[in-house]
Amino acid sequence: MSIGEFANMTGLSVKALRHYDEKGVLSPAEVDAATGYRRYSEGQVRSGALVRAMRDAGLPLPAVAAAVRDGDAASALDEHRQRVLADRAREDAAFENARLVVSSFAAPVEVTERESHARPYVARALAVRTDGDHETDDEAANDLLMGLLADLRSDGLGPSGQFWTAVREGDAPDRAEVVCCWPTAEPAPDGWGGPGTVVGVLPERRELVATWRSATGGPLPEGSVHPAVVALFDAVAARGVAVSHDEVRQAVLGRDEHDHSVEVSVTIEQP
């Protein structure tokens, strides 16, 4: 039968049939060497109808070609269905997480200014990938903090309060460093803690502080900027002050999963 007759019989357009021939999905039974005119056999109607059904179901051309070649359209459809369902589940999860981001940013965050005294501290840094596994990074940072805490206690240096963390740029665009800090009552000796340990002092300063509370903040989305950080930078922008992003400090106050606070601060003025 002619290409037009085959198109009418299978519901595939002439343009589509030419395309499928070029891609090796459904080749005609014969092609006139002089005119290039394509003709199809009656035995190809089944394949043509299956090609249309599979394309209507969204199967990509390589999968359709393989199904026609192997005579197994059912398996091709089942495999595609599983991929579609998996993609749909990921999209649904991403949508729900995005809605959670929106609602978390709308939750109340208290923003204040405070005067803070100079504070000695010790710190160690953890190199991370910005596109890495955040849960694994959190565990590694916790291990680093606990190791630093043990060293402080063994030398009788404290700590004198709650730890905090800061994030600074790494040595590549997709790298960063999480700086894990413990405050000490007195400055640690120079060189304390060995290579990779920083002994420093946060100078006297005026800070901008954003405080998020679990009791009013609601559930947090995965992989998003913390609402306290967003609120802090909103406040920085509103005040028109210049800050160093490397100096943004984050601390968790309280250990109860349902009753704790996240405090994010940055220096906005030094004497």
Is the domain of 16 the same as that of 61?
Answer: yes
The count of structural domains within the chain is 2
Query: What's the CA gap between 84 and 98, in Å, rounded?
Result: 21
β-strand partners of 177: 127, 168
Angle between the N-to-C axes of helices 3-10 and 45-56, in degrees from 0 to 180, rounded to the nearest 10: 50
Q: Which residue has the tokens 């004497």?
A: 271
Domain hosting 6: range is: 1-106
Is the domain of 102 the same as that of 115?
Answer: no
Last residue of a domain, one of 74, 91, 106: 106
* Per-residue confidence band for 98, with pLDDT thresholds at 50, 70 and 90: very high
Mean pLDDT of the chain: 94
What tokens does 242 get?
Answer: 């210049």
CATH of the domain at 194: 3.20.80.10
Mean pLDDT computed over 83-97: 97
Residue 257: predicted pLDDT: 76
Is the domain of 68 the same as that of 115?
Answer: no
Q: In this predicted model, which residue has the larger pLDDT, 170 or 237?
A: 237
Is the domain of 239 the same as that of 220?
Answer: yes
- Distance from CA of residue 188 to its chain's centroid? 38
Is the domain of 204 the same as that of 261?
Answer: yes
Query: What's the CA gap between 115 and 263, in Å, rounded?
Result: 15
Query: What's the CA gap between 263 and 192, in Å, rounded?
Result: 28
Q: What is the DSSP letter of 172?
A: S
Last residue of a domain, one of 78, 106, 134: 106
Is the domain of 95 the same as that of 161?
Answer: no
Question: CA torsion angle for 76, 77, 80, 81 (degrees, to 10)?
Answer: -150
Is the domain of 32 the same as that of 160?
Answer: no
What global pTM score does this model have?
A: 0.79
Rg (CA), the chain: 31
Q: For residue 192, give the 3-state DSSP assignment.
A: coil
Residue 151: predicted pLDDT: 96
Residue 47: predicted pLDDT: 97
Last residue of a domain, one of 106, 132, 148: 106
Residue 247: predicted pLDDT: 84
